[in-house]
């Protein structure tokens, strides 16, 4: 993996994740033999219904979970086995802002920079730069409880971009915001990801969001099976309605198949 030459490609091969339920001990397959390749600097939206394994894929991507079988390789490194290697190279934005309530906006944005051990002055400068880019220059000393939901999510985005990561992951990062704020933040997020030259992986259950953001859309069915892999650039913007309907149909067909299989 080389930061100088931009982010490396991501190869997901035969990825399988099985959880054991704590109460019943029953095995639950969250991801079943997933194959996916993500090109450097690509913005990919992963879309699918609730419970299809999107969030498990997210946890596996950031290395918080280990695959039961198969692998995720970012260049020649694994996010879980080479966990520390990705410090400062991978960043995340979650559904909730997950800001530390005892830290001001500036100190929250500084957090990843502190972890990679940058000098204090540089931490401050970089965090301020990113807060300014997100329109929070006047609120750097505000605590999270003093900010609105949209502003808090902006701080969370500034925190993630402050390390200028090679890989940026967002898990339903705009889903809880009102439509106007969400659309605005999505555009900002996309612009910043392109500016940083990061590979961006967005997990979402909203088709509109996936179409609006992704260069590519990976449609996940149950157990994170790849149902469709769509390159949005190949579609004319006027045909987005058709694209939306096609994805919806794919998901509905898979749901019907699953119901039939269950009898």
Partner 1 sequence: MPPKEHAESVPVLTFPRQTLVSLLVFAVCWEALSYLAPYLGIPPFAIPSLARIAKAITTITPVDIAVTLARVIAALIASFVLGLALAMAMYRSDTLEKYLHPMIRILMAVPVVSWILFAVLWFPGVEFRIGFVLVVVCGPVFLVDTLDAMRSVPRELRSMMRSFRPTSIQFFIKLMLPAIVPTIFTSWKVNISLAIRVVTIAELVGAVTGIGHQLSVAQELFSVADVFAWTVVLVALLFLLEAIVARVEHRLLRWRA
Contact 176, 157 (CB under 8 A): no
CA angle 56–169–65, rounded 5-degree value = 30
Q: Does 143 bind partner 1 (CB under 8 A)?
A: yes
Kindly list the distances between the CA atom of residue 191 and the CA atoms of 32, 79, 159, 161, 211, in Å, as whole numbers in the listed order. Answer: 33, 25, 16, 11, 15
As measured in angstroms, the least distance from the Cβ of 222 to partner 1 is 24
Query: 215 is written with which tokens?
Result: 């260069």
Contact between 240 and partner 1 (CB under 8 A)? no
255 scored as a contact of partner 1 (CB under 8 A): no
**Residue 109 beta carbon to partner 1: minimum distance, rounded to whole angstroms:** 12
Applying the rule CB under 8 A, the residues between 36 and 75 that interact with partner 1 are: 59, 62-64
Residue placing its CB nearer to partner 1 in the complex, 96 or 242: 96
Beta carbon of residue 54, minimum distance to partner 1 (angstroms, whole number): 15
Measuring CA to CA, which residue among 194, 192, 105, 86 is closest to residue 148?
A: 105
Alpha-carbon gap, residue 100 to 238, rounded angstroms: 43
Q: Which is nearer to partner 1, 139 or 174 (CB)?
A: 139
Is 1 exposed, middle or buried, given 0-12, 13-18 or 19+ CB atoms closer than 10 A?
A: middle
CB nearer partner 1, residue 84 or residue 236: 84
Distance CA 218, CA 226 (A): 7
Residue list 110-129, contact with partner 1 (CB under 8 A): 111-112, 114-115
Listed residue (250, 176, 249, 174) closest to 212, CA to CA:
174
Residue closer to partner 1 by CB (options 92, 204) is: 92
Instruction: Tell me the site size for partner 1, rule CB under 8 A.
Output: 33
**Residue 108 to residue 139: CA distance in whole angstroms:** 12
In angstroms, what is the minimal distance from the CB of 92 to partner 1? 4
E strand spans, the chain: 10-20, 27-38, 43-48, 69-74, 90-93, 167-171, 199-204, 216-221, 225-231
Strand 199-204 to 43-48 pairing: parallel
What track of x and - describes contact with partner 1 for positions 77 through 116 (by CB under 8 A)?
A: ------xx-xxx-xxx-x-x-x-xxxx-------xx-xx-
Which C-beta is closer to partner 1: that of 25 or that of 101?
101
Binding to partner 1 (CB under 8 A) within 155-194 occurs at none
Question: Shortest gap between Cβ of 86 and partner 1 (angstroms)?
Answer: 6
Residues near partner 1 (CB under 8 A) are 59, 62-64, 83-84, 86-88, 90-92, 94, 96, 98, 100-103, 111-112, 114-115, 138-139, 141-143, 145-148, 151
């Amino acid at each position: 993996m080389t930061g100088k030459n931009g982010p490396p490609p991501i190869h997901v091969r035969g990825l399988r994740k099985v959880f054991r339920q704590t109460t019943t001990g029953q095995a639950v397959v969250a991801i079943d033999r997933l194959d996916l390749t993500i090109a450097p600097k690509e913005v990919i939206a992963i879309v699918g219904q609730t419970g299809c394994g999107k969030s498990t894929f997210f946890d596996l991507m950031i290395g918080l979970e280990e695959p039961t079988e198969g692998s995720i390789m970012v260049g020649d490194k694994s996010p879980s086995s080479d966990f520390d290697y990705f410090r400062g190279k991978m960043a995340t934005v979650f559904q909730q802002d997950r800001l530390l309530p005892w830290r001001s906006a500036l100190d929250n944005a500084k957090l990843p920079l502190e972890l990679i051990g940058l000098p204090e002055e540089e931490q401050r400068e970089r965090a301020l730069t990113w807060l300014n880019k997100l329109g929070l220059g006047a609120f750097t000393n505000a605590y999270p409880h003093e900010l609105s939901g949209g502003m808090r999510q902006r701080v969370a985005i500034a925190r993630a971009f402050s390390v200028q990561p090679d890989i940026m992951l967002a898990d339903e990062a705009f889903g809880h915001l009102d439509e106007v704020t969400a659309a605005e933040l999505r555009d900002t997020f996309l612009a910043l990801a392109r500016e940083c030259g990061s590979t961006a992986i967005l997990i979402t259950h909203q088709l509109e969001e996936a179409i609006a953001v992704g260069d590519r859309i990976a449609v996940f069915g149950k157990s994170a099976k790849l149902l469709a892999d769509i390159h949005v650039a190949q579609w004319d913007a006027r045909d987005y309605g058709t694209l939306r309907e096609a994805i919806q149909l794919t998901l509905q067909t898979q749901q019907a198949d699953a119901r039939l299989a269950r009898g």
